[in-house]
Amino acid sequence: MKCRSRSAFLAPISYNDNTLRILPLNLLHRPESCRRALYWMVADGGGRLPSTFSHALKRRSLTPLAEEFSTNQVAAERRDAAAVEAGGAGAGSASGGSSGPAEAARREKEAANRRAEEEKARRRAKAAEATAAKKEAKGKNKEAKKAPSAFKLEEERRARAAAEVRAQEERAAQLAAEQEAARRAEREAAELAGAAEQAALREAAELAEALRRSEIDAEEEALARRVSRCEEAVSSESTGGGCLMRLVERLEASLGAATEGSLEERVGAIERLIGPEAAEAAEQHLPVTEPLAAVSLADAGLDTGRPAAPESTMGGEITCIVCFARVKSHAAVPCGHLCACGPCSELMQECPRIAASQ
């Protein structure tokens, strides 16, 4: 098999000891042609690469695809190629029996080529594996370089821990604020309830005090009416004239001992002494428009000075239904019921009759 150009197939790379690195240049474009390529030593003496092939290798970066062959194998291949050429030239004059050695040489050459291709494939696989391993190692190195350092990782961990601590402190502060707000609201509610209770107690006390004062006023008015009635009875003709104090002194002297006690007791004693006739006469001289308190004379010895059953319960329309002493003077709004006096109407929030009917 002839080669069109030695430089088209071979490119010696280096010569180290007993090894020659060569590369078929057409491997870049047609790898299948390597099976038919002839490897020649194209070196000028010591295996040095001519400048033409050196520039070609540098330009195409074919160094990773180089293959190693021993110089003895290259010489054997050159001898085989020369034998093939010589056999082709004398093929017309040789007999049929001379084709046996040529066929054997061809078969040996094909076997050698197959072994070379297999070896080349194994070396390519190894080179590919080595390249992949190098790429993987390079990628790992890049990842390792890109990965943060241990100091940075420690700083990030400390920052995360500090952030968690701050978040916990904020949550604790927020919870404490919420609890404090709840306690403050409870205290305010308790204070409001206490204030309302105190106001209710104060209002009840004021109402009780007003009722007590109204009762005292009613008792004083009733006592004043009784005193005036006694004075009129004493100064009337039926009693013979004179003032109340002289009559009292005379009566006390006639009894032999001074009567000690309150004015109400003394007036009661005077009423018992002057008799019912004088009291009736005194009542006849009183004006009709002035309200009178009902006083029971049947049990004058047990009389306390408090008014008897009010007129409102007996069907009357004059006495206040709250204090049972003063005259009704104020009407409730909006019902218009006339049922209370002035002081009692100031203390009431609604009409007593409406409240009693509900």
The reply to whether 87 falls in a domain is yes
Q: Is the dihedral of CA 134, 140, 143, 148 positive or negative?
A: negative
The domain boundary, picked from 106, 137, 168, lies at 137
32 is a domain residue: yes
User: What is the model's pLDDT at position 350?
Assistant: 80
Per this entry, what is the length of the chain?
358
Which residue, chain included where needed, has tokens 């104060």?
A: 202
Cβ pair 66, 99 in contact under 8 A = no
Contact 221, 325 (CB under 8 A): yes
- The answer to whether residue 143 sits within a structural domain is no
Residue 152 covered by a domain: no
Looking at residue 49, what DSSP letter applies? P
179, part of any domain:
no
Task: Kindly give the parts of the chain with pLDDT less than 70.
Answer: 1-78, 80-99, 230-231, 233-317, 358
What predicted TM-score, i.e. pTM, was given to this entire model?
0.27
Q: Look at residue 301 in the predicted model and tell me its pLDDT.
A: 47
Question: In 3D, which of 25, 36, 18 has the Cα closest to residue 77?
Answer: 36
Q: How many domains, the chain? A: 2
Long-range contacts made by residues 287-296, C-beta under 8 angstroms, separation at least 24? 290/225, 291/318, 291/319, 291/326, 291/327, 292/225, 293/218, 293/221, 293/222, 293/225, 293/325, 295/222, 295/226
CA distance 290 to 232: 15
DSSP string, 256-309: TSPPPS-HHHHHHHHHHHHHHHHHHHHHHHS-SSS-------TTGGG--S---S
Of 137, 163, 195, at which residue does a domain stop?
137
Q: Which of 324, 296, 329 is nearest to 312 (CA)?
A: 324
Say if 272 falls within a structural domain.
no
Q: Beta strand pairing status for 330-331 and 338-340? A: antiparallel
Under DSSP, is residue 62 helix (H, G, I), strand (E, B) or coil?
coil
Decide: 278 and 236 in contact? Cβ < 8 Å.
yes
Residue 243 has what pLDDT? Answer: 52
Domain that residue 126 falls in: 6-137
**What are the residue ranges of helices labelled H in the chain?**
6-9, 51-60, 71-89, 99-146, 150-235, 244-255, 263-285, 342-347, 352-357
pLDDT tens digits along 9-26: 444 444 444 344 444 444
Counting Cβ atoms within 10 Å, is residue 233 exposed (0-12), middle (13-18) or buried (19+)? buried
The residue from 87, 110, 137 where one domain ends is 137
SS (H, E, C) 298-344: CCHHHCCCCCCCCCCCCCCCCECCCCCCCECCEECCCCCCEEECHHH
Q: What span, in angstroms and rounded, lies between the C-alpha atoms of 126 and 189?
A: 88
pLDDT of residue 287: 43
Tokens of 313: 């319960």
Residue 99 lies in a domain: yes
Question: Do 68 and 124 contact (CB within 8 A), yes or no?
Answer: no
Give burial (CB, 10 Å; 0-12/13-18/19+) of 260: exposed
Distances (CA, A) of 119 to 17, 41, 76, 78, 309: 21, 20, 17, 20, 141
pLDDT of the residue at 67: 43
Do the strands 19-22 and 14-16 form a parallel or antiparallel pair, or are they unpaired?
antiparallel
Amino acid letter, residue 124:
R
195 found inside a domain: no
Domain with 353 in it: what CATH number? 3.30.40.10
CB neighbour list of residue 69: distance below 8 Å, 6 or more residues apart = 19, 20, 22, 39, 116
Token pair for 153:
């990782």
pLDDT in tens, 260-317: 455 566 666 666 655 555 455 445 444 444 444 434 444 444 444 545 544 444 334 6
What Rg value do the Cα atoms of the chain yield, rounded?
72
Round to whole Å and give the CA distance between 298 and 308.
12
